[in-house]
Amino acid sequence: MQLTVKLVGPLSRYLPSGSESGVTQVEAEAGLTVSGLVKKLGLPEDIKCMISINDDLVPIGERQSRTLSDSDSVKIIPPLKGG
């Protein structure tokens, strides 16, 4: 299955070379979970971030069980800091 993945801000360093604007296409096996995608991308497993699938926020407690579907759009956003 084909996924569109966007890594925002400093997380974009985990994208493969040739990715544009923080976005890449990922070929994944059926049944891949959100946690499995995080691992596949090489992100730290304990990373603090927000993850959405098709603009639907995935709660932290569902990341190991929520499976992805063909053509899903996944966005991974680091915590925002400011003051």
pLDDT at 82: 63
CATH superfamily for 2-77 is Beta-grasp domain (3.10.20.30)
- Beta strand 2-7 with 73-77 is parallel
- Domain spans in the chain, listed from the N-terminal domain onward: 2-77
Contacting residues for 44 by C-beta, under 8 A, at least 6 apart? none
Structure tokens at 78: 């680091």
pLDDT at 47: 86
Helices (H), the chain: 34-40
List the one residue out of 27, 12, 30 whose CA is nearest residue 68.
30
The residue assigned the tokens 């915590």 is 79
DSSP character at residue 15: S
Q: What is the chain's pLDDT, residue by residue, as a tens digit (83 residues)?
A: 999 999 999 999 999 888 888 999 999 999 999 999 999 999 987 889 999 999 999 999 999 999 999 999 999 999 877 65
